[in-house]
Amino acid sequence: MSVAHDHDHGAHDAHHHEMSFIEKYIFPTDHKYIGKQYMFTGMFMALFGGFYAYVFRMQLAFPNMSVPFFGRVSPMEYNAAITQHGTVMIFWVAMPVLIAAFGNFLIPLLIGADDMAFPRLNRLSYQIFLVSAVVLIASWFVPGGAFGGAWTAYPPLSADARYSLTPMGSSMWLIAVALEFAAFLLGGINFIVTAMNGRAPGMKWNDVPMIVWMICIASILFMASVGPLVAGAIMLLFDQNLGTNFFDPRRGGDPILWQHLFWFFGHPEVYVVLLPATGMCAEVIPVFARKKLFAYDTVLYTTIGTGVLSFFVWAHHQFVAGIDPRMANVFTITTVLISIPIAEMVFLYIATLYGGSIRYTVPMLWALGFIFAFLIGGVTGIYLGASGADIYFHDTYFVVAHFHYTFFPIAFIGTFTGFTYWFPKMFGRMMNETLGKIHFFGTMISFNFIFLPLFATGLGGDHRRIYNYNNFPELATPDLQNLRILATVALLVLIAFQFIFIYNTFYSMFFGPISGTNPWKATTLEWTTPENPPGHGNWPPDNMPTVYRGPYEYSVPGREDDFWPQNQQS
């Protein structure tokens, strides 16, 4: 046990103590390795999420055709595909990649520590996450099929197998989600504690790189919002399997209770995934504008303000669920208010660009792309927040387009920003710029062609939970159908461009040019490791970094270099 230890030699002992094969190669405790495990598990799950999107988009564009690689899509399969697409993308792609993968990889490196505060807890968190993914995938193949009650799992549909027709699928879905929550609660505690206590000597709170703040604040938001839904998940599980009556009105339950529990979590959750993505922009933009992040403190305060406000907007998802109209007014006001700090943050990033010497590297392109795309998502959110307008917009493709202009930038553009930026630190090699740019433009253009048409079909009346629009004469018009086909074709193009990314990733990982430890000439601590990629412990235990200044000292007048690393004394 550890107490009797001489702390300074802790890192050495790691090399000496006996490790089994599994401990050493399959489940090590090194934070960089666990981060990569999360990263690749998340990207692997994204393949499923993308495949489901392909299946249901094909059905919408070409109703009742036999979809290549899938076959004819039945109504049950269609519902399952939509449900699992949403679930996978939010809980098994955005969360593990943005929070867990980048959090694990970056937090110790950026605060100048050798590992997480609790490495074995960290490994346990990944193992639970892996089990949750296995349970979810297994639920697609059980008798009755996968759960098809949408990612929001509203009762009564989700509460009783007689309605959902998926007796095993619904419960396994719920168990998988609950396990996933447990994994991220453990991971979050680790992140927060590590960032609070494990910082390098000299690193004050305003020397902490923004991405660390963002991931920690996101973890706190997650922790503070998910509790009621954990309780709700237990209650729903009892409704499904014991016959309790929490949520099913036929048995005296209250379905609106679930909606409150779900959205009390669900709205903060969108900021949970948003914050890491904006954090990546905050790291990448100063490096490639060679300019200090504009108004560090204000970025931080807007983030905290957004986080606090995000707990008071949830009922904007329930404007037409029968809530009191006076309540709707309150939630309209809070929803409009929350756009203020978010807009402010966007302005601060643009102000960082102003007057900088901008370099359009691949990570920079992604960061700029994020700001552009997210802006459309945020602005359309304000329309939806007005309860009067939302009576018409609710549950149409306008909402679908809105949240994809937020989630796609977050989950994919944000990830590509961070991934292409830290790739040299993760694998020690550079990615191919040309392929990276082709991938960037291909993805951005096709992404817009998927979701711009959906704003139009939503305004044209497309309800979002319809299997075949031919069954609705007023919606089966060629105008609307052409837009649906356009969106589907654009999706196929977008998927095709991802193969370039996959190729670039794996090719560069093994054959890319060696990057050196600081290819971007950046100031934060991860670029100061003696080895690249950093070895176990990141720095030699007797030579851990000390911090002398803030993270964004670029183009400081009077200095020869245009960057001033945080650990350089003078």
Partner 1 sequence: MAAFRPIANTRSATGIPTAKLAVWWLLVSEIVIFGGVLASYLMHRLGHPEWANYAVHTQTAIGATNTLVLLSSSLTAVLAHQAAQTGDGKKAAKFLLATIAGACLFLCFKAYEWHGEIEEGFVPWTNGFWAFYYTAAGIHASHVIVGAIIMAFVAKDAYAGRDLHRVENVGLYWHFVDLVWIFLFPLLYIAK
CB of 39 to ligand HEM, least distance (A): 21
Residue 246 touching partner 1 (CB under 8 A): yes
H-helix or E-strand containing 123?
helix 119-139
Binding-residue pattern over the window 195 to 234 for partner 1, x denoting contact by CB under 8 A: -xxxx---x-------------------xxxxxxxxxx-x
Partner interacting with residue 14 (select from Cu ion, ligand HEM, partner 1, none; CB below 5-8 Å by kind): partner 1
Q: Which of 31, 123, 260, 267 binds Cu ion (CB under 5 A)?
A: 267
CB of 268 to partner 1, least distance (A): 11
Residue 167 touching partner 1 (CB under 8 A): no
H-helix or E-strand containing 352?
helix 325-353
CB of 269 to ligand HEM, least distance (A): 8
489: Cα within 13 Å, side-chain hemisphere? 7
Q: Which of these, 316, 286, 349, 314, lies nearest to 225 by C-alpha position? A: 314
Residues that bind ligand HEM (CB under 6 A): 152, 270-271, 274, 316-317, 335, 338-339, 342, 377-378, 381-382, 384-385, 390, 393-394, 399, 402-403, 406-407
CB of 202 to partner 1, least distance (A): 10
Phi, psi of 170 (to 5 degrees): -65, -40
CB of 89 to ligand HEM, least distance (A): 10
Q: Tell me how many degrees the CA angle 230-233-237 measures, rounded to the nearest 5.
A: 145
Please give the full DSSP string across 385-404, using - where no structure is assigned.
HSHHHHHHHTTBHHHHHHHH
Q: Rounded to a whole number, what is the largest CA-CA distance in the chain?
A: 77
Partner interacting with residue 157 (select from Cu ion, partner 1, ligand HEM, none; CB below 5-8 Å by kind): none
Partner interacting with residue 103 (select from Cu ion, partner 1, ligand HEM, none; CB below 5-8 Å by kind): none
How many Å apart are CA 480 and CA 499, to the nearest integer? 30
| Cα-based distances in Å from 448 to 298, 361, 469, 548 | 31, 21, 23, 44
Q: Which of these, 485, 413, 400, 417, lies nearest to 451 by C-alpha position? A: 400
CB 464 within 8 A of CB 399: yes
CB of 95 to ligand HEM, least distance (A): 12
| Cα-based distances in Å from 139 to 90, 177, 234, 548 | 17, 12, 18, 52
Partner interacting with residue 271 (select from partner 1, Cu ion, ligand HEM, none; CB below 5-8 Å by kind): ligand HEM
Structure tokens at 326: 């006076």
Residue 304 touching partner 1 (CB under 8 A): no
Partner interacting with residue 378 (select from ligand HEM, partner 1, Cu ion, none; CB below 5-8 Å by kind): ligand HEM
Q: Which of 109, 146, 192, 212 binds partner 1 (CB under 8 A)?
A: 192
With respect to Cu ion, which residue has the nearer C-beta, 267 or 425?
267
Q: Which of 79, 171, 194, 515 binds partner 1 (CB under 8 A)?
A: 194
Residue 183 touching partner 1 (CB under 8 A): no
With respect to partner 1, which residue has the nearer C-beta, 206 or 471?
206
Q: Which residue has its beta carbon closest to ligand HEM? A: 381
Rg of the chain (C-alpha set): 24
Residue 260 touching Cu ion (CB under 5 A): no
Structure tokens at 452: 């711009």
With respect to partner 1, which residue has the nearer C-beta, 384 or 547?
547
CB of 224 to partner 1, least distance (A): 6
Residue 242 touching partner 1 (CB under 8 A): yes
With respect to ligand HEM, which residue has the nearer C-beta, 236 or 373?
373
Partner interacting with residue 344 (select from partner 1, ligand HEM, Cu ion, none; CB below 5-8 Å by kind): none
Contact region for partner 1 (CB under 8 A) — 54-62, 141-149, 189-197, 392-400?
189-197
With respect to partner 1, which residue has the nearer C-beta, 246 or 408?
246
For the chain, how many helices (H) and strands (E)? 18, 2
Structure tokens at 515: 């990057």
Structure tokens at 180: 């996933």
Helix, strand, coil percent values for the chain (each to nearest 5): 70, 0, 30
Partner interacting with residue 403 (select from partner 1, Cu ion, ligand HEM, none; CB below 5-8 Å by kind): ligand HEM
CB of 171 to ligand HEM, least distance (A): 22
Residue 404 touching Cu ion (CB under 5 A): no
Structure tokens at 434: 């040309």
Q: Which of 261, 353, 401, 444 binds partner 1 (CB under 8 A)?
A: 261
Please give the full DSSP string across 403-460, using - where no structure is assigned.
HHHHHHIIIIIIHHHHHHHHHHHHHSBPPPHHHHHHHHHHHHHHHHHHHHHHHHHHHT
H-helix or E-strand containing 338?
helix 325-353
Partner interacting with residue 198 (select from partner 1, ligand HEM, Cu ion, none; CB below 5-8 Å by kind): partner 1
Binding-residue pattern over the window 508 to 527 for Cu ion, x denoting contact by CB under 5 A: --------------------
- Is the peptide bond prior to 96 cis by the omega test (within 30 degrees of 0)? no
**How would you class 530 by CB atoms within 10 Å of its CB: exposed for 0-12, middle for 13-18, buried for 19 or more?**
exposed
How many Å apart are CA 492 and CA 321, to the nearest integer? 35
Q: Give the three-state DSSP class for 554.
A: strand
The residues binding partner 1 (CB under 8 A) are 1-5, 7, 10-11, 13-14, 17, 29, 108, 113-120, 185, 188-190, 192-194, 196-199, 203, 223-232, 234-235, 238, 242-246, 252-254, 257, 261, 264, 537, 541, 544
The residues binding Cu ion (CB under 5 A) are 267
